[in-house]
Chains A and B, each alone.
Chain A
Amino acid sequence: MFVLKRVGVLAVTLLVVSFVAFLIPYLTPGDPARKILRARLGDLDVDPAALEALRHEYGLDRPLLSQYWDWLGNAVRGDFGLSYTSRTPVIDMIGSALTITAMLAATALLIAIVVAVPLGSLAAVRHGRPTDTAITTVTQGFVALPEYWLAPVLILVFALHLGALPSAGWAGPASMVLPCLTLALRPMSYFTQVTRASMIDVLAAPHMTAARARGLPFGVAMLRHGIRNALLPVITLFSVWLAGLLGGSVVVEVIFSIPGMGRLMYESVVNNDVPAIQAAIVCLVALAVLITTVTDVVYRLVNPAVRSSHGAA
C-alpha cells in the first residue's frame, strides 16, 4: 500500500514537472514555432513558409494540453528534439553527461562516507573531549567553504605549483582527483556530523549496554550493534546528496571543465538551448524522485520501527 502510494505520487510529480518543462518555450520570449523548428532542424534562419507549415503540422494552434500530450509521447520515447547548439539529439547529450556526473558524484560521496563514518564515530566515542571538539569544529568550518574557492586553491597547489595533477578536463583517474575532493568536502562534513549525532544516541542506548554486559569487547559491540544502527540517518542523507549532486555539481564541473550534467545545464541556460533544458529538467527530476522513493521504500524494509510510526510523522 505504501509502495503503491509512493509510486502514484512519483507519477503525478513527473507529470507536473514535465508540464512545466514543456511550457518553457512558451514562457521565454519569442515564437515557439521558430524555436521548435530550430530544435528539429537545427536551422538558424527559417523561411516563413516552413514556419507556417510547422505551425499547422505540429498543431500549435491546437489547445495547449493536446500539444503537451504529443510532446510527452515523444519524451517518453526519449525524443526531446535536437539541441540548438550541437544539433545532435538532446537525449544522447544527456546520456553521456549523466554518466560522467554519476561517476563524479558517486566517487565523491564514497570518499565522503569512507572518511565521515569513522571520523563521526570517533567523535561520538570521545564525546565532549578534545578529539570530539576538534572534529566537530573542523567539519563545521568546512561547511562554510565555497567550492568555487576551494577548487582554485587546490588547482593552484596541486596542479600549478606541484604539477602533480591535471588542473582541468576529464581524462582518466588523475583528472578525477581534484574535482572529487572538492565535491566530497561538504557532504563529508554533514555526514560526519550526522554520524556523530546518531552514534551518540546509539552508544547511550540500552542494547549497547546489554551487548557490553554480555561481555562483547567494545570494538565488536560497536561493529555489530553500534554502527549498523547509527548508519540509518546517514543512508537517508546519502540519497538526498546523491540526488542533489547529479545536478548540483554545476560549479565544480564548470571550473574543472568536466563535460557532465552540471556544465551541460549551465551551457544550455547560457545559450538558451530550450530542448536541452527541458530534457535536463525532466531527466534530473525523474532520477531525483526515483532515488528518494527507492530510499524511502528500502528504509522501511531495513528498519521495521519506521513502518508503524511513519504514517503519523
Chain B
Amino acid sequence: MVLLERTRRRPWPPSLVVGTGLFAVILLVLLVTPWVIPFDPAAQDLDNRLAPADGTHLFGTDHLGRDVLSRLLDGGRFSVSIAATTLAISAVTGTLVGIVCARRGGWLDELVTRMCDVLLAFPEIIVAMFLVAILGTNYLTLILALVITGWTPFARLARGVTLEIEARDFVEAARTLGCGRWFIVFRHILPNALGPLLAHAALRFGHKLITVGALSYLGLGVQPPDADWGSMLAAAQPYLTRDPGLVLYPGLAIFLTALSVTLIGQGINVRRNRRA
C-alpha cells in the first residue's frame, strides 16, 4: 500500500484541537443524557409557564412549562443522531458510486455526473420538502430525503480523487503485477481517498445539522411529542420578546455543534495541505 500522504507526528492545528475538544464535550453530554437528564422533556407544568432560570430549572421553562434544559439535551440527541446517520449513509453511498463511476467510465459515468448536476442545482431543502410531502413525515422519510441529495458531493469528490490516484505510477505498477480491480480499490485508492473524504464529511456535518433543524423548524422534520433543536426554535418563536432565551439556546446549540465539526474538517484540511 502506498500512501500519498505520510502521517508524520506534527502538532494539530488550533482549529482541529478546538473543534475536537468542543465536539467531544457535546457528544459526551448527549451520550450520558439518559442518566443525567433532570426532568421528563415532555412533562408539562402549565402553572409554571415561561419561567425564568432558577435553581430547579437551570434554563427556565417553555410555553408549556416544560424544562428547557431537559428538552435541549433530549432534542440534541435527535438532531445530532439524524444528521450523523444521513451523513454516514450519504458518504458511503456517494463514495462507492464515485469510485465505480471513475473505474467504469462510459455512459454510467455520464449519467451519474448529470444526475449530480441536477441534484446539486436543486436545493436540498426543497427536495426534502417534496419527498416529505409525498411520503409523509417520519424519521425514515427525513433520512431518505436528506440522503437523496446528500450523496452527490461525495460521489463527485470520490470520482475526482479516484481518477487522480489511478493516474499514479504505483497503481499502474499494481496493475502490472496482476492485482485485481477491487483489490486496487481497497488497497490503494480508498486509503488515499480517505483524507479528502473525511475532511469533506466533517465540513458537511454542520450543513446537515442545520438542514435537519430547518426541516423541523418548518414542521416537516421531527414531529411532536418528540422535539429537536429546530422544532424547539420554531415553537419558541411566538415568545421571542417575552423570553428570548427560548429561541437563543437551541440556536446556540446548533451553532456550537455545527461549528465544532466544521472546525474539525478545516483542521484536517490544514494538516493535509501542510504535508503536501
A positions within 8 Å CB-CB of B: 9, 12-13, 16-17, 24, 27-28, 140-141, 143-149, 152-153, 155-156, 160, 240, 243-244, 247-248, 250-251, 254, 265-266, 269-270, 272, 277, 281, 284-285, 288-289, 291-292
Pairs A–B under 8 Å by Cβ, sample size 22: A13-B118, A24-B134, A28-B133, A140-B259, A144-B206, A144-B262, A146-B210, A146-B214, A146-B254, A146-B255, A156-B240, A240-B120, A248-B123, A251-B218, A265-B126, A269-B130, A281-B130, A284-B122, A285-B118, A285-B121, A289-B117, A291-B121
Q: Which of B15, B126, B133, B230 contacts A247 (CB 8 A)?
A: B126
Q: Write out the residue numbers on chain B whose beta carbons fall within 8 Å of the beta carbon of A270.
A: 133, 219
With most chain B CB atoms within 10 A of its CB, the pick from A149, A248, A269 is A149
Per-residue interface assignment for chain B, residues 237 to 276, with 1 indicating a CB less than 8 Å from any chain A CB and 0 otherwise:
1001100100110111011001100110010000000000
Complex: A247 Cα to B217 Cα, angstroms: 17
Cross-chain contact B133 with A149 (CB below 8 angstroms):
no
Q: Which of B120, B234, B244, B255 contacts A145 (CB 8 A)?
A: B255
Cross-chain contact A156 with B241 (CB below 8 angstroms):
yes
Q: Which of B122, B240, B252, B255 contacts A288 (CB 8 A)?
A: B122
Cross-chain contact A289 with B240 (CB below 8 angstroms):
no
Complex: A12 Cα to B258 Cα, angstroms: 38
Q: Write out the residue numbers on chain B whose beta carbons fall within 8 Å of the beta carbon of A251.
A: 125, 214, 217-218
Q: What are the 8 closest A-B residue pairs judged by CB atoms, nearest first?
A: A149-B251, A248-B123, A288-B121, A144-B258, A144-B259, A269-B133, A146-B210, A269-B129
Is B175 at the interface (CB under 8 A from chain A)? no
Cross-chain contact A284 with B206 (CB below 8 angstroms):
no
Complex: A117 Cα to B209 Cα, angstroms: 28
Q: Given contact pairs A146-B251, A248-B125, A289-B121, enumerate 19 new A-B contacts (beta carbons under 8 Å).
A: A16-B118, A28-B134, A143-B206, A148-B251, A149-B251, A152-B247, A156-B244, A160-B241, A240-B121, A250-B126, A251-B214, A265-B126, A265-B129, A269-B129, A270-B219, A272-B133, A277-B130, A288-B122, A291-B121
Cross-chain contact B218 with A266 (CB below 8 angstroms):
yes
- Residues 97-153 (chain B) with a chain A CB within 8 angstroms: 114, 117-118, 120-126, 129-130, 132-134
Is B213 at the interface (CB under 8 A from chain A)? yes
Q: Write out the residue numbers on chain B whose beta carbons fall within 8 Å of the beta carbon of A250.
A: 123, 125-126, 129, 214, 218
Cross-chain contact B213 with A148 (CB below 8 angstroms):
yes
Is B233 at the interface (CB under 8 A from chain A)? yes
Q: Write out the residue numbers on chain B whose beta carbons fall within 8 Å of the beta carbon of A292.
A: 117, 121
Residue in chain B with minimal CB distance to A17:
B118
Complex: A194 Cα to B125 Cα, angstroms: 24
How many whole Å from B186's CB to the nearest CB in chain A?
26
Q: Write out the residue numbers on chain B whose beta carbons fall within 8 Å of the beta carbon of A9.
A: 114
Q: Write out the residue numbers on chain B whose beta carbons fall within 8 Å of the beta carbon of A244.
A: 121, 123
Q: Write out the residue numbers on chain B whose beta carbons fall within 8 Å of the beta carbon of A289.
A: 117-118, 121
Complex: A144 Cα to B233 Cα, angstroms: 16
Complex: A146 Cα to B129 Cα, angstroms: 18
Complex: A265 Cα to B132 Cα, angstroms: 13
Per-residue interface assignment for chain B, residues 192 to 226, with 1 indicating a CB less than 8 Å from any chain A CB and 0 otherwise:
00000000000000100010011001111000000
Cross-chain contact B251 with A248 (CB below 8 angstroms):
no
Complex: A289 Cα to B124 Cα, angstroms: 15
Complex: A291 Cα to B160 Cα, angstroms: 23
Complex: A292 Cα to B114 Cα, angstroms: 12
Q: Write out the residue numbers on chain A whose beta carbons fall within 8 Å of the beta carbon of B220.
A: 269
